[in-house]
Amino acid sequence: ISKKNLILLRKKNKSKKIGLCHGAFDIVHLGHLNHFNNAKKQCDILVVSITGDKFIKKGPFQPYNSSFDRLEFLRYIKNVDFIYLDNNETATEVIKFLKPNLYFKGKDYIQKDITLNLNKELKVLRKNKGKLIITKTGLRSSSKIINNNFSSLSIKEIKYLKKISRNNGFEKINNLFEKIKKDEIS
């Protein structure tokens, strides 16, 4: 589905409840399938949008599957009515054009939104009178599957990265980069 078709989908289905699930959906697992199933039960039309490859920053060697492979896989899931490749850092554009009634996220995104992208998405969602629904599915993680099974990092490197993660390393490193961006190097 194209951006133009997102707009048409909303216009042609004004009386129908449209739901949106958005994410990387890299290594699709039972948690994702339960998430889609739960979402579809609450809406008439379910759209799944995936984040483009260059915007996925969940760890080294990610995404494992290309955007096109992820789209192809989602085509075979019966509860998914439409799929969309979103080449943006957040789902704000999809939400703006589709104007979903319901925006579905798993509870993993509510526990800690380190990128603050969810806050940006919710702002656009509320502006369009949409509602956030947290699906009650078990917590699973494609990133953990990839990192635990397909990583070429040594055990020592993995332990170091976990230590950084536990100490809010992402925020500290990100703040340092933000600071450096403003400095002038001569």
Decide if pLDDT at 47 tops 90.
yes
Decide if pLDDT at 152 tops 70.
no
Measured between its terminal Cα atoms, the distance across the chain in Å is 48
**122-151 b/e (C-beta count within 10 Å ≥ 16 → b):** bebbeeeebeebebebeebbbbeebbeeeb
Predicted confidence at residue 162, as pLDDT, reads 67
Predicted confidence at residue 2, as pLDDT, reads 78
Decide which of 128 and 64 is more confident: 128
Decide if pLDDT at 98 tops 90.
yes
**Mean pLDDT score of the chain, rounded to an integer?**
81
Decide which of 165 and 4 is more confident: 4
Lowest mean pLDDT among 9-23, 90-104, 129-143, 161-175: 161-175
Question: DSSP assignment, residue 178?
Answer: H
Tokens of 159: 């332990």
* Residue 65, phi then psi, degrees to nearest 5: -100, 145
Lowest mean pLDDT among 96-105, 115-124, 126-135, 162-171: 162-171
Decide if pLDDT at 46 tops 60.
yes
CB atoms within 10 A of CB 36: 24
